[in-house]
A and B are shown apart, each in its own frame.
Chain A
């Protein structure tokens, strides 16, 4: 046996195993394979079923309102006129605010955890950041109502008084709840996933990248800035996209602090709604066409989350494949 072939086999032992599994030797093998395959396909079936059933249940509203549903800004159950624009706008504004806060903080944290923190600190600090993802959304909302909003209120009032000429900061202030509060709570929810994915992306960068830069006399930050981060830029983008996916669909915490308004306004201190919060607060009171309209809203949210997550995940895969294929 010549050397290269042995090496190749050593690198892909799974292939032997899989080719053996593909040729079942006992009746149990076939049964086992089919059972697990069905379980795996159930995930695919679930996704397809979501598309079909949500579309089916939303159809009366889609047929009735057409594209106008996405453009109109009234939600009037009495006249049965429903438009999703303020909710879509609310989702975009709160998610944008969340990304504005969460991306820099998360990337800083990821860089710190992967590159800068002393060894003994890495595991505990990573653990604490991951814990943040485990805090139930409703508990964060509770905290948002009773701790964050009262703190935010005087800040918002001060901003409204001193910077009120900027449309974003115009008053009145509603007890600290509104778009800004929603965006801030969302930033907390997006933070752990961005940090985790970005940290893993940074950790895939080969040590030689850093060492070469440091050997040239670069400072630590210069090595990170010019040799590490560019190497894994797609990973950092993927991390942010997955964080965005989280922010877009988060429901409870936002619902509790966004204040339930339904207007198109640039004022960040005004109460609003996101797609998710509109569904959460309205669905059980709805009947008839309004239910269909809310399902259509869920369908829109589903489609957006699907696209964002597929793009994010494929980018993660691409990053990992590129690093692995880099010949290290």
Chain B
């Protein structure tokens, strides 16, 4: 009787301790996020001003200056990467969802594996196939690297979203005598549109902060956008270069740039969440 009471107490204690530990783990995971985001926003706000967006970098020692070139560069890179990556990803995702089969099964695994390939390796790959033959680092090769990172993500989200469209929609459309490809384009794609858009936005947020693949492709450039076949500046590259520099003013600029990137990610994530909730509601 006493022994069983003791066992009972021990079991209850273990229960509470383990539940508390799981709660603490969650607190730690969320805490790290809040620490990083909070610190970045606080530091960034302190150093961010209008000049940071509209001006270009000044020589060391002169106060002020900004990252106009880097912001423009990131917009060009992300825009071009999206233009290359999203359409192909959409089509690939359509195949995976609507045709599938054995090819689809292989491609699905390949897409998942590609998502896990280190971005630095993608950068080296693009260096080998584009930068070296072209003889120059370029905005184009940077965008191609980012598009390669984006492609499998867009393909898989598109597939998942199109699979959510009820089968009865397809059958109803077919029964009207519409050609099969039109059923996909006019019924399935619109039905999955919100999901596809949100998935693409998340992929976009991811590549906007990518740094490693740009080192060997876009390289960076202090003189502004000079064409797609020339090196181009990018926010993440500049954050890295400034962060590892010994100068306080450059550190401050790095924080302000980090603020912009984190805000972009935050806004997109919240927007996606809101869109998803709106679709469900």
Which residues on A are within 8 Å of B, measured CB to CB?
Answer: 13-14, 16-18, 20-21, 24-26, 28-29, 31-33, 35-44, 46-47, 49-50, 53-54, 56-57, 104-109, 111-113, 116-117, 125, 127-132, 134-143, 145-147, 188, 191-192, 195, 219-222, 224-225, 242, 245-246, 248-252, 255-256, 276, 279-280, 283-284, 294-295, 298, 301-302, 305-306, 308-310, 312-314, 317
Contacts and interface: CB of A to CB of B under 8 A. Distances in A.
Interface string B198-232: 00001001101111100110010000000000000
Interface of B: 11-12, 14-15, 18-19, 21-26, 28-30, 32-37, 39-40, 88-92, 94-96, 98-101, 103-104, 106-107, 109-122, 124-125, 127-129, 132, 148, 151-152, 155, 167-168, 170-171, 174, 179-182, 184-185, 202, 205-206, 208-212, 215-216, 219, 236, 239-240, 243-244, 251, 254-255, 258, 261-262, 265-266, 268-269, 273
Nearest to B215: A280
Given A136-B265, A220-B15, A127 B92 contact: no
B268 to A, nearest CB: 8
B121 A105 contact: no
A129 B14 contact: no
Contacts of A21: 98-99, 180
A251 B119 contact: yes
B141 to A, nearest CB: 13
B26 A125 contact: yes
Given A131-B37, A249-B116, 15 more contacts: A42-B92, A44-B106, A108-B24, A109-B28, A112-B22, A220-B19, A248-B118, A276-B118, A276-B120, A283-B124, A283-B127, A284-B219, A308-B116, A309-B113, A310-B113
Main secondary structure, interface of A, reads helix
Contacts of B90: 39
B224 to A, nearest CB: 21
Contacts of A222: 11, 14-15
A113 B41 CA distance: 27
Contact of B116 (A31, A42, A246): A246
Given A105-B28, A219-B12, A305 B181 contact: no
Given A25-B179, A29-B181, A142 B109 contact: no
A256 B243 contact: yes
A219 B29 contact: no
A17 to B, nearest CB: 6
A131 B209 CA distance: 13
Contact of A36 (B94, B106, B206, B255): B94
Contacts of B116: 242, 245-246, 249, 305, 308-309, 312-313
Contact of A44 (B110, B127, B212, B236): B110
A53 B125 contact: yes
A105 B25 contact: yes
Nearest to A195: B29
Contact of A219 (B11, B103, B239): B11
Nearest to B31: A128
